[in-house]
A and B are shown apart, each in its own frame.
Chain A
């Protein structure tokens, strides 16, 4: 009989020296230690691994044993049981989106090129043709859809999911709604990941022909979460005539291609300057760059939108120009782009073999 009393924290501290070689963390903070029992000078516990196929199982068993034997005074024997419980990867239930026919992502290389403006006008444009449309603001860094569409917060989440808001016949959801209050929140990867999944799968979208997703600029976690969570029909890339913008757009293009998201087309925004007085056009930055790039990349060119103060004015007012002034040059430009986009989506839907695994 030993005179010393062995305490649980001592054992756990000793076990903290044992690292999982793949997860690069100690087995205590990983929560692997279960059923720790101290009976006199005998310590027993389970090491619960993430896979029964763990190739370093025996090594971990021996390391855990030695760590306690040598690290805790008074221990005579250590009994280690190796167990395993496979932690599920995020395998989201996508059944909620079965009623959504096409998911179209709107992306850009850099910020401020008019991505949200294009997304909102396309959504309203599609709705005006009689389609059932949803618009998801996935830009957690600067949600703007609620302003562009003058939409209030949707109802609080209910038992059966979040009811989307609605404006101009478009169902709306913003990841911004999932931000608590007005406190500035630093969205880290995992949080953004969860918020996007919730916005896609936890919202009662109902039957939709198109769900337009306004992505944050650049390439990153949100894009990856999107393509991993739902089957994306295709992507629209917005760029400006300046070369730099185009260069960056190429990165976005490659990212979509790498994740097998067809690029439905490129939109050139702030293309020409329309004089508010005479309606005359002026190439401020020399337009056509996006069209050339699209041609050389074999990607459809969806059209160009002039640099037009009215676009901004109507946006600030919460009424997309395609609705406020459909016959104006800008309204008509958005109308044409909407038509070409719908056409590209149809082509994809036709080409796209619904990925199902058939039992033979």
Chain B
């Protein structure tokens, strides 16, 4: 895993379009656009990723296609918390993690 610079993991702007899309602009100028279902499918919580094996238990294919962000709020300075329309609320997405899962073509595959 490559080490990300502080600027790469510091958000300067967070925008949300309804429940369907979240956009983060980072201090290094990069912009990440996350679609709701893909983001729900990468929830890092213990219900979605096995604590013992690290295997993903709930992936994008397991969640309803129309899943939406019901609410989003920052946790301290370092993470975002989502309430999902399917009732899931236990995931806390650190900004480091969010940057690592940026789905853009330039980042995809760089750190899977």
Contact = CB atoms under 8 A, between A and B. Distances in A.
Contacts of B30: none
B74 A55 contact: no
Interface string A325-357: 000000000000000000000000000110111
Contact of B58 (A55, A86, A231): A55
Contact of A228 (B75, B88, B90): B75
Contact of B14 (A88, A261, A356): A356
A84 interface: yes
A356 B57 CA distance: 31
Contacts of B62: 53, 55
A360 interface: yes
Contacts of B74: 231, 355-357
B47 A360 contact: no
B32 interface: no
Interface string A288-308: 000000000000000000000
A237 interface: no
B88 A51 contact: yes
Interface in A46-75: 50-56
Contacts of A178: none
Given A52-B87, A55-B57, A259 B72 contact: no
Nearest to A88: B89
B47 A54 contact: yes
Interface string B20-60: 00110000000000000000000000111011100001100
A22 B46 contact: yes
A231 B73 contact: no
A281 B23 CA distance: 57
A358 B15 contact: yes
Contacts of A355: 11, 14, 74, 77
A211 B46 CA distance: 33
A258 B87 CA distance: 29
A55 B48 CA distance: 9
Given A232-B77, A360-B15, A89 B86 contact: no
A227 interface: yes
Contacts of A352: 77
A4 interface: no
Contacts of B97: none
A356 to B, nearest CB: 7
Contact of A230 (B51, B57, B72, B76): B76
A311 B62 CA distance: 62
A24 B62 CA distance: 22
A358 to B, nearest CB: 5
Q: Which 5 A-B pairs have CB atoms at the shortest separation, nearest pair first?
A: A260-B78, A355-B74, A260-B77, A86-B87, A227-B76
Interface of A: 21-22, 24, 50-56, 84, 86-89, 91, 227-232, 258-261, 352-353, 355-360
Given A55-B62, A356-B14, 10 more contacts: A22-B46, A51-B90, A53-B58, A53-B88, A88-B89, A89-B92, A229-B76, A355-B77, A358-B14, A359-B16
